[in-house]
Structure 1
Amino acid sequence: ISSEPIGENSSSFKGKAPLPFYNYVNSADFTDIEKESIFKAIGNELKRVGKSAFRSKSQDDFERYVFMKKNPLSKKFILSNITWNSNDWKSPSNDKSNHSWVQKDGNIPHESWNFDFDNPRNTKDKICGYNQWTNPPRISGNNNLIIYYSNNKIVGFYGKVEILRNSVSVSENEDYNLIAEKDFSLVLENKIDDIKSKGYLENKKRIGQIGFIYLKDIDNIFSILGEAKRLNPKQAQKIDAIINWIREEDVTSYKNDNNMNDISLNQILYGPPGTGKTYSLQNSYFDKFTSNTGQNNYKFVTFHQSFTYEDFIEGIKPVINDAQQEGEVTYEIADGVFKKLALEAKQNPNTDYAIFIDEINRGNIAKIFGELITLIEPDKRGVLSVVLPYSKTEFTVPKNLSIIGTMNTADRSIALLDTALRRRFEFIEVMPKASLLHDKIIEGIDLEKILTIINDRIEFLFDRDHTIGHSYLLKVKTYKDLCKSFRNEIIPLLQEYFYNDWEKVQLVLGDNKKWGKQDEMKLVQQTKSYSSSEEKNLFGEDLEDYEEVTIFEVNPNLIAKQYDKIPKEAFIYIYDKPVIK
């Protein structure tokens, strides 16, 4: 960037004053990963001289990269214009275009072969295409989806697509600057029209003739793919592949509701079971604490009732020494998982470390953290120290060590957590997202509607902390999978939530009498109701403490795994009220 040494502010850099070095790097032809490396290097220097020394109109953007660790791997969705081609972009057409670049010197537009899957320039798994842009999208990698748009219609998709910095020339009239995966790319047999009136432009009025826009609403993406699937049932398999690929990413990051790029030092993801909290750690957070060489700068632990201070910080542990008399045991002070990681982080102050604690609320947090509950506060890190009780050594928590946990609100409400803990952690709610099941239809059964109505009923009967997470249905691919999910996971969870109050479980599943399901369609069925006369037959008297007693059971076919005997209406009528004739 500059041959000059880095000074106390951006004016030390050569360039077009007063623009800071951030503007140069961000506008230059670097990939996101290269930018991040440059910004991190400069950021380390800024930390040394004092961040307060940096003042410019781009400070917020710069800090977003340097101090909040921008993740370059998140998916990008691009709605891009393409010249109309009545041959479905499998060969040049005679369609007239108002694009000046198309007619220049009589050239055939390079986009004419975008969906010619048999073109020799393609490989077995990749398809090479072209887009003419005034300024191309500034994205890197192939974790991107291009949605092609022409004549107010959505015409096709390029999935897992990489945008090349420079076009590759095949012939005088044929170039390509895109490489996508064939399994995630297709031209629609039936195009999606009126996309502006349907809101697919996300409040944009238009796209330029050789332009594009970034789409940021994940619900909108799923709506586009859902309509494409409905209009093109023969192409449903490939469209499903795109949908499932999008869903692979951490479900809490799509709408960026939780600002995943801004990771605080002490953070807890909380929500009902099955909402993707642990999945989020594994698929989003882990990468942020993994070096370019693949070294993991983090540890993952699960708290439980037997987990102790000695496991976490330090304690006296038994050691069997083979050199001593057989069976003799000695004891020594051993560092716990957190202390080991903290010592490593202190030795590498320019590297970010993290400890991930799954099910943090299942342990006795006050006992596990001990005196560290004070040291983990951001303003006390690296400043305040304590003497540890076993080793008698001075210990402080470094500033480059994050503590990130997860907790199920179904196990324990946040309101019940230790006040000191709540004050020191940032809590990020991760709730069920029924939209991730948008257009996920299994033999006529709408999974999005099932999850939505079940959670609405649970919230009414109980509370929102005990709703059902989307992961229970996200993995469903067949009717058998759906039956298994209800048999093994959802119904037992409801049984636990409502403490075997089967009448409430019936209300949640639409199996109550007034909803109108026939008995064979009910997932939870009433088998017997004991009246006063039947009580006398059983016990010889009418028991005063018992009114009418009703016995319930889970559908016997569901228990017996005879899923083919369970009518589809058992699930459809969870959200659609039966019409009683």
Structure 2
Amino acid sequence: MTEPSGETTSPHHLHHQLILFGPPGTSKSRRARDVNARALGASGDSIIPVMFHPDYSYGEFVARLLPISENGGIQYNVHAGPFIRALAMAYIALGNETVGNVVLLIDEINRGNCAEIFGDIFQLLDRDDDGWSCYETSVSDLVIKALDDEMWRLNPGGDGEWLKPLHGEVERLIEKRQLRLPPNLYFIGTMNTSDESVYFMDSAFKRRWNFEFRSVGFDEVAGHQCDAVIAGTEYSWSEFVNALNDFILDRCPSPKMDDKLVGPWFIKARDPKHTLPTLKQAFPKEWASITAYAAGVTKHAEGADNSERLERAVLALTEQLPASVVEEIKELAGYDPTIAHPLRRFHRIERSASSAGYPYYLRKAKNQELMGIDDFIDRLGGMAAQETVYAIDRETIAGKLMLYLWDNVFDRDKSPLAALLGVEPRMLRTFGQFTDRVDDFIERVCERASAGQRGETELGVDNETDSVAG
């Protein structure tokens, strides 16, 4: 059968096997999907997700027989695991004119026994310069059956012929009951360096992967996450996390410090928009005038005047609002201050084509790219009346972050925490005693960093140790 002449779009300078690793909260899973996979042109169904865990097996990953109860009897069906599903998709894609990439995305890769899970396909991870596996490996009839079924599901034909011709190398491999990884199949794994209850990765396995470290810095983090305010304080999330990591680096006795730090996404900032009052709720009097004018924009002989009054009422309302909300309103309306009366200044709301040069807004838009006045009013009324400030709540810090510090970072020695809080170690014997001091903890972590920046004696170290001793 003639081999398709299509060329792969695989960017060969990107690694075929990549593991993103780093402390918890460094956005490894999101980056794997939204950055690394996207760089390969993979999205949607071309990303096959799987998560390893201590009980995960070769059969679940590759292929196995599963019993199914049907009509009072038991049947055994071949089940294709995520590896075979990804491989089948990649094999079929090789037959297309433009070859797309497939990504097998493995979260928590070090939480499973990789040697057992990969089994005989481990050898396939060695790649030649063209992206194909260096070696073939023979597999069981069960695996070939699972692969054939999955490929047929993706590329069904008739009379035993494929709908689209297979790549010549794929045909050769299936005939010999062997497997090779194609150049358009990529593996991306993620793992936390702080996980202790994980399986050991031997050097032979690691050698076949490239590793990308994700640091705890805020350089690539969205502004709303960096600037989120810790509820009840004046400290931002980035300010607190940077100060906390400085404290950990200075006081944690662990030889593996990367394992103990806190990433910027350890706690995700909460969007409080749904709890803020809307314009309709916060300004009932002004809103009554706006809706009255909106209802009259198409009224005979008064539509243009009511359209003008509507504009003025909306602009008058913006004088009572924060700058960020004003910008949202003007963006929604498409406000153009250079347009003079009697022409309309909200150019994202459709208006009449008035020959007299005195147009009015339409209730319902005819142009799909524009709004009618009814749609505009609905959207305007639902907008938040206050500036949106993302927040990190203290309860989550107490229940999640402080537990991580207690169990993972200072699990063997709580004295640095006691010194930071200015209490004797015997007063910090239980986790409850620690979380009861959540407000003091946040304050002292940030004050410690401020004291260090001023060149003063460290708060929570020398002074606090002296106070405890006294």
User: CA separation of 1:495/1:573 partners in 2, compared to 1, >3 Å: closer, same or farther?
Assistant: same
- Equivalenced residues, count: 284
Secondary structure at 1:467's aligned position in 2? coil
- Which position in structure 2 is the counterpart of 1:551? 429
**Native 8 Å contact 1:269 1:427 kept in 2:** yes
Task: Say if 1:468 and 1:444 are closer, same or farther in 2 by CA, change over 3 A.
Answer: same
Match of residue 299, structure 1, among 48, 51, 54: 48
Q: Report 1:133-152 matches (<5 A).
A: none
Deviations 1:492-550 (A, max 9, x none): 0011113263223445xx32x3xxxxxxxxxxx65856xxxxxxxxxxxxxxxxxxxx6
Shift of the alpha carbon at 1:570?
Answer: 4.7
Matched, 1:334 2:79: yes
- Match for residue 576 of structure 1? 450
Pick closer, same or farther for the CA change 1:384–1:528 going to 2, 3 Å: closer
Q: Superposition pairs for residues 157-168 of structure 1, below 5 Å?
A: none
> d(CA) in 2 for partners of 1:574 and 1:555?
21
Which amino acid is 1:575 matched to? Answer: A
Q: 1:378 aligns with which of 118, 127, 135?
A: 127
**Of the candidates 402, 406, 411, which is equivalent to residue 499 of structure 1?**
411
Supply the AA of the counterpart residue of 2:203.
T
| DSSP-derived class of the 1:274 partner | coil
State the alpha-carbon separation in 2 of the partners of residues 554 and 495 from structure 1. 11
Alignment of 1:282 with 2:76, yes or no, is no
Identity %: 21
Q: What TM-score, normalized to structure 2?
A: 0.52
Find the aligned partners of 2:247 and 2:101 in 1 and give their Cα distance: 43
Distance between the aligned counterparts of 1:378 and 1:559, measured in 2? 54
Match of 2:66 in 1: 317
State how far apart, in whole Å, the 2-side matches of 1:360 and 1:300 are.
12
Which structure is higher in helix share? 2
Equivalent residue runs for 1:16-55 within 5 Å: 45=7
Shift of 1:373: 1.2
With over 3 angstroms needed to count, the CA separation of the structure-2 counterparts of 1:320 and 1:289, relative to structure 1, is: farther
Post-superposition shift, 1:363?
0.4
Work out whether residues 10 and 184 of structure 2, in 8 Å CA contact, stay in contact via their aligned partners in 1. Answer: no
The secondary structure found in structure 2 opposite 1:494 is: helix
CA distance, structure 2, for counterparts of residue 303 and residue 381 of structure 1:
25
- Residue equivalent to 1:264: 15
Trace 1:110-189 onto structure 2 (pairs within 5 A): none
TM-score normalised over the length of structure 1:
0.43
- Give unmatched runs, 5+ long, in structure 1: 1-42, 48-65, 70-261, 514-524, 530-549
Higher strand share: 1
- Any idea what the Cα deviations from partners look like across 1:239-275, whole Å, max 9, x if unmatched? xxxxxxxxxxxxxxxxxxxxxxx53100000001110
Between 1:338-347 and 1:281-290, the stretch displaced more is 281-290
- Going from structure 1 to structure 2, the CA distance change for 1:569 and 1:451 (only over 3 Å counts) comes to closer
Q: Secondary structure at the match of 2:140?
A: coil
Greater relative CO, 1 or 2 (CA 8 Å, sep 6+): 2
Residue 457 (str. 1) matches residue 335 (str. 2): no
Q: Shift of residue 472 of structure 1? A: 2.7
Q: Deviations over 1:25-47 (max 9, x none)?
A: xxxxxxxxxxxxxxxxxx955x6
Where 1:470 maps in the other structure, the secondary structure is coil
Out of 11, 15, 18, the position equivalent to 1:68 is 11
CA–CA separation in structure 2 for the residues paired with 1:553 and 1:287: 42
What CA deviation, in whole Å up to 9, does each residue of 1:9-59 have, x standing for no partner?
xxxxxxxxxxxxxxxxxxxxxxxxxxxxxxxxxx955x6xxxxxxxxxxxx
Q: CA deviation at 1:449?
A: 3.3
Please list every run of 5 or more consecutive structure 2 residues that lacks an aligned counterpart in the other structure.
145-176, 272-388, 452-458
TM-aligned CA deviation for residue 377 of structure 1: 1.5
Tell me how large the CA RMSD over aligned residues is: 3.6
Question: Distance between the aligned counterparts of 2:141 and 2:41, measured in 1?
Answer: 32
Equivalent in the alignment of 1:468: 262
Q: What does the per-residue CA deviation read over 1:403-448, in whole Å, with 9 as the maximum and x for residues that have no partner? A: 1000110015999521111100000001111444666555421433
**Cα distance between partner residues in 2 of 1:411 and 1:470:** 18
CA distance in 2, matches of 1:383, 1:568: 54
Q: Do 1:303 and 1:359's aligned partners in 2 also have CA atoms closer than 8 Å?
A: yes
Q: Which AA in structure 1 matches 2:262? A: I
CA 1:265–1:394: 2 relative to 1, 3 Å: same
- Tell me: CA distance 1:527–1:394, structure 2 relative to 1, closer, same or farther (3 Å): closer
